[in-house]
Amino acid sequence: MRITTFFLLIFTGILAGCNSKGEPVEFTKACDQANEKKVIELTGFIRDKGGVFCSNIGGGRLECGFTLTTQLGEETGVKAEIEQGTGANTVEKLPSGFKKEDIRIHDNNGDIIALSDKVKLTGKMSIGPNSTPCFMQVTKIEK
């Protein structure tokens, strides 16, 4: 009985994580200090800016850095760290010398999105003093 209850609690926690809901925030206010450690939602376009750095600094999940912008082709935006993997809300491992068409990001349904698709990202914000650095640890990607 205790084992069943334990697994039920674990399963419920996993489901809650998959359906994480953030607070919608205006793009221009995403890096405000008030959003530090908050789970928020931002809408925009994912960019690779010509290169992607993947790491698991601190021994956490392996994440790849992208930029979320308000418009296609825009240079500045909010850094978005997406977990590397093959399931929902992840980016597949990039081959050495990759091209834009090699980038395969999975949305919350597990479907591949295009970098030209407008998406809503949900994740926990990390914001340093004076808003630098400012990035989102993405937990959910919706088309």
pLDDT in tens, 62-112: 999 999 999 998 989 999 999 999 999 999 999 999 999 999 999 999 999
Map tokens 């205790």 to a residue: 2
Q: What is the secondary structure of 9-58 as a DSSP string?
A: HHHHHHHHHHT---EE--GGGTTSGGGTT-EEEEEEEEE-TT---EE-GG
Structural domains of the chain, with CATH: 2-142 (2.40.50.140)
Pairing state of beta strands 39-47 and 23-24? parallel
Q: How far is CA 35 from CA 4, 26, 32, 47, in A?
A: 37, 11, 6, 22
pTM confidence score: 0.84
pLDDT in tens, 118-131: 999 999 999 999 88
What residues have CB less than 8 Å from 45, skipping those under 6 apart?
A: 68, 69, 70, 71, 72, 74, 115, 116, 117, 118, 119
Cα gap 112→119, rounded to integer Å: 12
Confidence (pLDDT) at 9: 38
pLDDT in tens, 32-67: 999 999 999 999 999 998 889 999 987 889 999 999
